[in-house]
Structure 1
Amino acid sequence: MIGKLQCVVLDCHYPRGLAHFYAALLGGEVDRPDPRWSLDDEWSTVHVPGGMVLAFQRVEDYRPPMWPDPAHPQQFHLDIDVEDLDAAEARVLALGAELKDTETGWRVFLDPAGHPFCLVAATG
């Protein structure tokens, strides 16, 4: 092993707002003090249950990916297991997500900053 993953960082216009979106989606604590970084209008975090940290970085000229347009690739996305797709869909839509596509077993959404994520029917 060379290193340990510190966090996953998503670019956006409004870091604190996107942090609250993901905290409502995944649980966790927004902007918990952490000696690894400072928190301000340019940077916000969510410490999710299980220890993973999502971070959100303000980018002045942020342009969201255009799913599924290969000319503007998504670069990465989050897959999130849920017990009930319909109930989870209703909740993320109420949080401000946008439904982009439905497939058997999963649904594709955009978060409020335009990053794609999928709700996936949990197995087992």
Structure 2
Amino acid sequence: MSHSDSHSHTALIWKVFAFLSLITIVEVILGIAKPKSLYLTHFLGTSPLNWIFIILTLVKAYGIAWYFMHLNDEKTWFRRSIVWPVVFLIMYLSFFLLYEGGALQDILHSITKWQ
């Protein structure tokens, strides 16, 4: 490996680090601030803030797979065969978690006094 190759990999690692750090910082700020306009409204069964967290988490997972699993060097359909099932599985599990959580809240709402 030549010196220029290692330098380009170092620069790439720093770019990926900055990308993942930026997304994480946005998630932490939103988690701490919890804007009422995003937290107290409902969209597709949950708050828009939850959807933002789910989408940002998927973007981070895709970025990690893209760079650290070296999917950017693979053929297009091989990448898709790895990434798409995972994305759809996460969306499927998120849907049922949010749906069943809402149903459980409706059932227990008369018993609990959390809200």
Q: TM-score range by the shorter chain?
A: under 0.3
Higher relative contact order, structure no. (Cα contacts within 8 Å, ≥ 6 residues apart): 1
Greater gyration radius = 2
**What TM-score do you get using the length of structure 2 for normalisation?**
0.20
The structure with the largest strand share of the pair is 1
**What TM-score do you get using the length of structure 1 for normalisation?**
0.19
The structure with the largest helix share of the pair is 2
